Structure 1
């Protein structure tokens, strides 16, 4: 896997999938581009889209969407994801 400072657009699809697995996300059975990541107090649906990584957090309140351009580093996106909604 490339260094964490590498932008997501410089990762292979396999590297992105491995990264999501390492975060604890699980691929959705009915959608090869969708992943579900559950943490205490919230869960996130992560979608590997063509131009960006989309996230919809589902806390107890209303869902909160967010989009991360693939030009951001993996470290920056991971830090933002770990903060949750």
Structure 2
């Protein structure tokens, strides 16, 4: 795998999939670009879009609303780990 400070767009897809799996994400077998992540305090769906990872955190916040964020592949893997897996 590339160094963690390498932009995600420089990682081959199998490495990105392995990285997501190593963080507890589960790939949707029917839609291979969709992933889910369960944590004790929140749940998220990740979509590997054309130029970004779109993360939808479900039922979070004081009013239990969904929160959606988009992170460009130009961010490093380390930066993405810090923002995605820390939660909403």
- For structure 2, the 5+ residue unaligned runs are none
Q: Quote the RMSD (CA, aligned, Å).
A: 0.9
Q: 2:73 aligns with which of 58, 70, 73?
A: 70
Q: State the 4+ residue runs in structure 1 displaced beyond 3 angstroms.
A: none
Tell me the TM-score normalized by structure 1. 0.95
* 1:20 matched to 2:23: no
Residue 30 of structure 1 deviates from its aligned partner by 2.2
| Cα distance in 2 between the residues matched to 1:82 and 1:33 | 18
Could you tell me which runs of 5 or more consecutive residues in structure 1 were left unpaired when the two chains were aligned: none
Aligned residues: 85
- Structure having the higher helix fraction is 1
